[in-house]
Structure 1
C-alpha cells in the first residue's frame, strides 16, 4: 500500500515528503512522492536515514519563517509577549485566544495547534522506521541499532514537547496503515518512562560524529537528561551531562572570520552563521540546518520577528518628521545609517519583557557580560539607531544622522511594537539575497553544551547541592565575562535567569517552565523565590469548570513565574485591540477541538480549564494500554 493512503485523521494531516540522503547538503532536496514506496525505500539503512530526514527537516520549521512556532513558546512564558498591536487575534488575552475551537495554527494568532499536528506528524515518520526495523537489511547490529536509536530520538523529541505543552496525550508507538478513530489519552508520566528507556538505547547506539543536522549521540543525551529530570532522576541526568560536556567543551576563544570585524565579540562569533558551519565548533550538539545557497533551504527571519518595527512610520524626529526609511538617501556614504542591513527590517512580533531586556542584567554581576545589554556591541537599543529618512537630508533637517529620541507621548501600541531593546548578536543573520533584510539562511542550534551545564546546575539544585550548581553555572558565566556565583546565590530564579541570558530564541521557554512546575508539584520541594510556597499535582491546572479563568497564585509554578516577571500579563496593560492576560490553566494548552471531535470511537482528554474537559476519562498507563491491545489481538 502506498503511503499516501495511510492517514491518522484524529491526530495529524499531510503527506510524507521523501528526501534523498547523502553526507552533504544535498539531503535538503526533496524527492517526488510518486517515487516513494515504503516497502522498497525502507529496506536498508540508506532508505531509513532518508526517511529520518523528514523528521530532521521538519524540526527546522519550528524556528524558520515568518511567525515561527518558537515565538509561541517564548510568548507563553516570562521572557516575551506578542508585539503585533495593529490587529485583533494575536495571543495577548489568553482567556480569549487559547480556546479549543479557535484557529490555533495561524501566523496572525498562535502556533499552539502547530505543535500538536506537527508533533504527531513527526511521530508518524519516526514510527515508520521503528515498525519496519526488523524487516530491513543492515550490514550489522550496530548499524541497525544506530538507525533505531535515531528514530527513537525523533519520536521522543516530539513527545517530550507534547507532554509539557498538552499533558496527557495519545501515545502511538507503531505505524498505522488505516484510518483510526479510537485514540485515548495516555498518562504523561508513563509516556516519560517510555521515553527514558528509548533514549537510553539511543544514547548507547547513535554515533557521536554525524553530518550537521543529523541526530547525534550528544543530542540523545541532552534529551535523556531532560527526561530524567522530568522524572526526578537527577543522578542519572548528572551522569549523562558530565559525559556530554567532557566530549563537547564550551567555545571559549574566538574562532570565526568575524574576529577581525569591528564591534563583534566571542558571543557574536558563537552565534554567527560561520560558527554554525564550522566543524571545529565543539559546543554545538544538534542543529536544524538551512545552508546558504542550497536548494531546499529557508530563511530564519529572526530580524523580522525579533527586531522593533522601526520602519512603520511611527518613529518621528523630535520636530515631528518621519524619521526612517529602508532606502538610503542618494549618494549616502555613512553605512551606520543603513538600518536595514545593520539591524534588519523588523516588525516587532516578538516583544521581550522588561525582565529579559533589563532585570536579568544586573549592575555588578553582569557589567562585563558579553551577552548583555551593557555590552553595546551585543545588544541594541532604539537609541543606537539613527534617523535616515532621505527627505530629512534633502531638507537639511538637523536630526538627519542623529540618534533616535523616544517621542513624547508615544502611543501604547507604538511603545510595545516600536521601542524595545534586543540581543543583536544572536538575532542578526545576514540576508544578502533580499532587498529587506529579515534574517537569511543559516543552521540554528537546537542543543549546545552551554545548556547542558545549566541543566547540570539545575539537577544539583534539586539535590540541594548548591555548591556544585554554582560551579556548573559559572562555566557558562565566566565564558561570557559575568562574575562568578557562590552557593549562596543559587535558587531556581537564578537558574532561570541564566537560561534567559544564554538561551534566548533557542530554548522552549514555556516547556522548561512547565517541566519545573511539574517537578515542584511532584517533589513537594518548597520554592524559595515565592516565600517557601509548595505545589501539588492535584489541581495543577486549577479547579476547572465554570469561571475557570482564575488568576490565583500558588496553583502552579508556571503561572507564578510568568505573572511575577512579565510586565504585561495581568498588569492591566492594554491597547485598542486587547489586554494582556493569562490564567493558571494556560500552563497546559488546549488540545485542538478538531482532534477530539474527529476521534469518534475513543476519548482524547481536554485539559482542565477548557470547554470539553468535563468529558475526560482516566488516562491510560502505557503498560495497561499494551495489555489491552494484546487482549484484543
Structure 2
C-alpha cells in the first residue's frame, strides 16, 4: 500500500487555492510555467488528483484532534452529551449555546460553525476540479470520468451534511475566482436531487480498488444510498446496497496479528489500527488516513475525547486519598498503567444511559461482542485500579485495588469522571506521546456493516419487516447478538442497532434529521411514538420570539432525543449549565457572520433563531 500518495501535492494546492481566492490581482501572476499556475497545475490527471487530495485530507479533520467536530454531531443526538463540566460555554444548554452570533467554532464551545466553513472549503476544492476538467488532458475517458466522479462525490459529501445540518443553503457548482457577496439559499430538496444525479455518475465511473483514503466506487455508492433514502427512492438505495455488500462482505473471522490475543474478539480486531491498515479487510469502504512519521499526519485523540477523566484528582480511595496518577512512573506494573491501558481521557463525550445500558438487553445482547457484557470490548470504572504511588509507599490497602464509586460524588464528577465506554472503538495506541490521548491511525468513514443497516431501514420504509430483520441480522449475528424477527422491527430497533455498531463513526445527528424529514415527507405513522404522523410544515417549530419550544410531536429528531436521553430536558444541571434542547435545534444556526457579510444577497437563517424573519423563498437548483 502506498501510504505517501495521500499527501502528495497538499502544500502546492493549498497555496494555489489561496492565490485563486485572493483579492490582489498580482497574486494571480506566478512565474511562467510554475506549478502554481492553474493552467499548469490543473492541466493533467496528476494536478487534478492533487486538488482532490485536499478534499480527502480535510475529511480527516472531522474525526481527529481534541474536541473533534464529530463530537458535535454525536452530542446533538440521543447517544451522548457534552461532558465538560468545569466551565461555561460547552454545548449543554442549546438554547444559549446555539445562537447565530455565538462562538460556533471553538474547542471549548461547539463545532457547529466548523461544519459550515469546512463544508464550503470542500465544495471549493471539488469545484476547482469540476471547472478545470474539460481543460485538462487525460490518457482516456475512463481516467477523466473517474476524476470528475471523485470530485462530484467530494462536493456531494459536503452538501449532504450541510442540508441536514443547516437546511436550505447556497448551492455552488463552479469555481469562484473573485470575491462574491450575492449568495442566496437554495432549496434543500433540489440540492439533494442534483447531488443524486452527480453521485449516479460517480458510482458508474470511480474505481473501487484505490489507496486508503482515496474516494472509491463503494464510497460513492454509500453516499448515493443516503441521498436516495433522503429522497425516498428506497428501491434504488436497495439496488446499490446489494451491489456493495456483494462486493465487500463483512469480516466474520478474527484477523490481523491481534487474533492471537486471548483478551480480544472479532470486534476488537476490526477496530484496531492493524485492521484499518490491512488490505485484506473487505469491510472498509472509505477511510480517512493518518500514518506515523508521514508529513501531514495527525493524532485522533479518541481516548482524550471519549474516556472518563479518571486522572482529574477527584477519583479518591474509599478512605479519601488521591487514587490515580498519569503518566505512571517507570516502575509501575503494566496492570496499573492506566494511561497505556485505557488512555488518559478528559470526558468530553459523555455517553447517555440509552447508549451505555438501555440498548444492551440481557436477553438479546448478552453475547454481543460490541456491548457492555463483554469486558474485553467495554470498560467500566470499576475495572480500573488505584495506581497512585503514594498509596503504595504509605502501605495504603487500596493500592492496586479496583475503583469504588464514592457515595457522595458530585453531579459534575458523575457526569465527567464515572461512566462506562466502548474501549474497543476508541482505544488507539499513542506510543510517541507521554500521555496517551489517541495516536495516528486510519479511521472508517463507511463500512459494509452500515450498508446492511441502511438496507434494513429501506425495507422498513417499504413495509417489509422480514427483509429488514434479515439485513440487520447479518450485522447482529456477526457480533454474537440474538437474531431479530420481523415482529421486532421498528425505527427504534434500527436506530438502536446503528448505535451499537456505529458509535464514533456515524454522523448521528444527521441520520436522525434525515429520518425526521423522511417521516414528514412520507407521512408514515411512527410506531414508537404512538403512530404519530409528522408534517413538513413547521418542522422546526413555529419560530418567532421566545421560540424555545419543548413540545413533543413536531419533529422526530426532537422526540427521539428527548425520549431517549437521560440528560436533555430532564432537569440535569451542574453549577455551569443545565442540559436543554428545543424543537428548532433539529437544524443548526447559520453563523451570523456568514449572513452579515453577504451584502448583496440573502442567506436564510433557520426557523427559531434570530434573523429568520428576513428569510426569502429559497432558489431551486437547476
- When normalised by structure 1's length, the TM-score is 0.94
Q: How much does 1:293 deviate?
A: 2.4
Please give the alpha-carbon distance, in whole angstroms, between the structure 1 residues aligned to 2:299 and 2:327. Answer: 22
Do structure 1's residue 248 and structure 2's residue 243 form an aligned pair? no
Q: How much does 1:547 deviate?
A: 1.2
**1:391-425: CA deviations, max 9, x gaps?**
00000000000000001110000000000010000
Please give the alpha-carbon distance, in whole angstroms, between the structure 2 residues aligned to 1:257 and 1:55. Answer: 32
Please give the alpha-carbon distance, in whole angstroms, between the structure 1 residues aligned to 2:259 and 2:125. Answer: 41
Counterpart of 1:17 in structure 2 is none
Please give the alpha-carbon distance, in whole angstroms, between the structure 2 residues aligned to 1:417 and 1:27. Answer: 37
Q: 1:396 to 1:113 in 2, by over 3 A?
A: same
Q: Kindly indicate whether the alpha-carbon contact (under 8 Å) linking 1:431 and 1:440 is maintained by their aligned counterparts in 2.
A: yes
**1:203-262: CA deviations, max 9, x gaps?**
000001001000000000000000000000000000000000000000000111011123
Counterpart of 1:74 in structure 2 is 74
Secondary structure at 2:81 match in 1 = strand
**1:155-201: CA deviations, max 9, x gaps?**
00000000000000000000011110000000000000001100000
Please give the alpha-carbon distance, in whole angstroms, between the structure 2 residues aligned to 1:152 and 1:107. Answer: 31
Please give the alpha-carbon distance, in whole angstroms, between the structure 1 residues aligned to 2:149 and 2:379. Answer: 42
Q: Kindly indicate whether the alpha-carbon contact (under 8 Å) linking 1:329 and 1:393 is maintained by their aligned counterparts in 2.
A: no
Please give the alpha-carbon distance, in whole angstroms, between the structure 1 residues aligned to 2:331 and 2:192. Answer: 61
Secondary structure at 1:31 match in 2 = helix
Do structure 1's residue 59 and structure 2's residue 39 form an aligned pair? no
User: What are the within-5 Å matches in structure 2 for residues 436-515 of structure 1?
Assistant: 436-515=435-514
Counterpart of 1:8 in structure 2 is none
Do structure 1's residue 287 and structure 2's residue 267 form an aligned pair? no
Q: Kindly indicate whether the alpha-carbon contact (under 8 Å) linking 1:329 and 1:388 is maintained by their aligned counterparts in 2.
A: no
Counterpart of 2:187 in structure 1 is 187
Please give the alpha-carbon distance, in whole angstroms, between the structure 2 residues aligned to 1:24 and 1:352. Answer: 34
Q: Kindly indicate whether the alpha-carbon contact (under 8 Å) linking 1:78 and 1:565 is maintained by their aligned counterparts in 2.
A: yes
Q: Kindly indicate whether the alpha-carbon contact (under 8 Å) linking 2:6 and 2:214 is maintained by their aligned counterparts in 1.
A: no
Q: How much does 1:622 deviate?
A: 1.0
Q: Kindly indicate whether the alpha-carbon contact (under 8 Å) linking 1:330 and 1:390 is maintained by their aligned counterparts in 2.
A: no
Counterpart of 2:411 in structure 1 is 412
Q: How much does 1:24 deviate?
A: 3.9
Counterpart of 1:126 in structure 2 is 126
Counterpart of 1:304 in structure 2 is 304
Counterpart of 1:25 in structure 2 is 4
Counterpart of 2:270 in structure 1 is 270
Q: Unpaired segments of 5 or more residues in structure 1?
A: 1-21, 624-633
Counterpart of 2:84 in structure 1 is 84
Counterpart of 2:26 in structure 1 is none
Counterpart of 1:113 in structure 2 is 113
Q: Kindly indicate whether the alpha-carbon contact (under 8 Å) linking 1:457 and 1:473 is maintained by their aligned counterparts in 2.
A: yes
Counterpart of 2:226 in structure 1 is 226
Counterpart of 1:529 in structure 2 is 528
Please give the alpha-carbon distance, in whole angstroms, between the structure 2 residues aligned to 1:331 and 1:469. Answer: 54
**1:5-53: CA deviations, max 9, x gaps?**
xxxxxxxxxxxxxxxxx95424325435275222111111111011100
Q: 1:141 to 1:330 in 2, by over 3 A?
A: closer
Counterpart of 1:172 in structure 2 is 172
Please give the alpha-carbon distance, in whole angstroms, between the structure 2 residues aligned to 1:101 and 1:434. Answer: 37
Q: 1:206 to 1:330 in 2, by over 3 A?
A: closer
Please give the alpha-carbon distance, in whole angstroms, between the structure 2 residues aligned to 1:382 and 1:78. Answer: 22
**1:497-541: CA deviations, max 9, x gaps?**
000000000000000000000000000000000000110000000
Please give the alpha-carbon distance, in whole angstroms, between the structure 2 residues aligned to 1:198 and 1:205. Answer: 11
Deviates more, 1:277-286 or 1:133-142: 133-142
Q: Kindly indicate whether the alpha-carbon contact (under 8 Å) linking 1:301 and 1:440 is maintained by their aligned counterparts in 2.
A: yes
User: What are the within-5 Å matches in structure 2 for residues 352-431 of structure 1?
Assistant: 352-431=351-430
Please give the alpha-carbon distance, in whole angstroms, between the structure 1 residues aligned to 2:238 and 2:158. Answer: 23
Do structure 1's residue 578 and structure 2's residue 558 form an aligned pair? no
Please give the alpha-carbon distance, in whole angstroms, between the structure 2 residues aligned to 1:26 and 1:195. Answer: 28
Secondary structure at 2:11 match in 1 = coil
**1:430-461: CA deviations, max 9, x gaps?**
00000000000000000000000000000000
Counterpart of 2:159 in structure 1 is 159
Please give the alpha-carbon distance, in whole angstroms, between the structure 1 residues aligned to 2:213 and 2:505. Answer: 15
Q: Kindly indicate whether the alpha-carbon contact (under 8 Å) linking 1:386 and 1:404 is maintained by their aligned counterparts in 2.
A: yes
Deviates more, 1:258-267 or 1:422-431: 258-267
Please give the alpha-carbon distance, in whole angstroms, between the structure 1 residues aligned to 2:130 and 2:328. Answer: 56
Please give the alpha-carbon distance, in whole angstroms, between the structure 1 residues aligned to 2:401 and 2:327. Answer: 17
**1:321-356: CA deviations, max 9, x gaps?**
000001435633x31100000000000000000000
Counterpart of 1:261 in structure 2 is 261
Please give the alpha-carbon distance, in whole angstroms, between the structure 1 residues aligned to 2:329 and 2:131. Answer: 62
Q: Unpaired segments of 5 or more residues in structure 2?
A: 17-34
Please give the alpha-carbon distance, in whole angstroms, between the structure 1 residues aligned to 2:327 and 2:205. Answer: 54
Q: Kindly indicate whether the alpha-carbon contact (under 8 Å) linking 2:130 and 2:174 is maintained by their aligned counterparts in 1.
A: yes
Deviates more, 1:23-32 or 1:172-181: 23-32
Q: Kindly indicate whether the alpha-carbon contact (under 8 Å) linking 1:493 and 1:529 is maintained by their aligned counterparts in 2.
A: yes
Secondary structure at 2:363 match in 1 = coil
Q: How much does 1:474 deviate?
A: 0.1
**1:341-380: CA deviations, max 9, x gaps?**
0000000000000000000000110000000000010000
Counterpart of 2:93 in structure 1 is 93
Q: Kindly indicate whether the alpha-carbon contact (under 8 Å) linking 1:555 and 1:584 is maintained by their aligned counterparts in 2.
A: yes
Counterpart of 1:328 in structure 2 is 328
Counterpart of 1:559 in structure 2 is 558
Q: Kindly indicate whether the alpha-carbon contact (under 8 Å) linking 2:346 and 2:416 is maintained by their aligned counterparts in 1.
A: yes
Counterpart of 2:29 in structure 1 is none
